[in-house]
C-alpha cells in the first residue's frame, strides 16, 4: 500500500519538516535508530570504562591497542572500498535502466 504525504508537505509550516520526517514510514531515522543506539551505548561503555575503571597501565595498553588498530585500518583505503560499492550500485542501476524499455 502506498502512503502519500503530499497534503502534509504542501501545508507544512516552519519546523514542520522535521515532524514530517518522523511521521514518514520509510524514514531513514526509523531504519537506523537501532544501530545508532547500539553504537552510542558501545561508545559510552568504552569511554566510561577507560575513564573510570582502567588503571594507568591498562590505559596505556588500551592506547597501544587503539594505535595498532588505526595503523591496520589504513592498510585498505576507504576510497578503494567505496569505489567498489559505487561501481556495484551503478551497475545495478544501469541494468534496471536498460530493462525499462
Q: So where are the chain's domains?
A: 1-53, 55-100
Kindly indicate the confidence band of residue 1, based on its pLDDT and cuts at 50, 70 and 90.
Answer: very low
Q: Which residue carries 511521521 as its cell? A: 23
**Cell numbers given for 31:** 531504519
**In which band, very low, low, confident or very high, does the pLDDT at 65 lie, cut at 50, 70 and 90?**
very high
Instruction: Report the predicted TM-score, pTM, of the whole model to 2 decimal places.
Output: 0.56
E strands, the chain, where? none
- Reply yes or no on whether the pLDDT at 51 is more than 90: yes
Average pLDDT over residues 16-30: 70
| pLDDT band per the 50, 70, 90 thresholds, residue 45 | very high
**Rounded Cα distance, 84 and 94, in Å:** 15
- 24 three-class SS: coil
Q: What residues contact 27, with CB distance under 8 A and at least 6 apart?
A: 21
Amino acid at each position: 500500500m502506498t502512503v502519500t504525504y503530499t497534503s502534509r508537505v504542501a501545508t507544512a509550516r516552519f519546523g514542520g519538516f522535521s515532524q514530517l520526517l518522523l511521521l514518514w514510514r520509510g524514514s531513514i531515522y526509523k531504519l537506523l535508530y537501532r544501530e545508532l543506539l547500539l553504537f552510542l551505548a558501545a561508545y559510552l561503555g568504552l569511554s566510561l570504562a577507560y575513564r573510570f575503571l582502567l588503571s594507568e597501565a591498562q590505559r596505556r595498553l588500551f592506547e597501544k591497542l587503539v594505535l595498532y588498530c588505526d595503523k591496520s585500518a589504513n592498510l585498505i583505503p576507504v576510497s578503494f572500498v567505496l569505489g567498489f560499492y559505487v561501481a556495484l550500485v551503478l551497475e545495478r542501476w544501469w541494468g534496471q535502466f536498460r530493462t525499462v524499455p
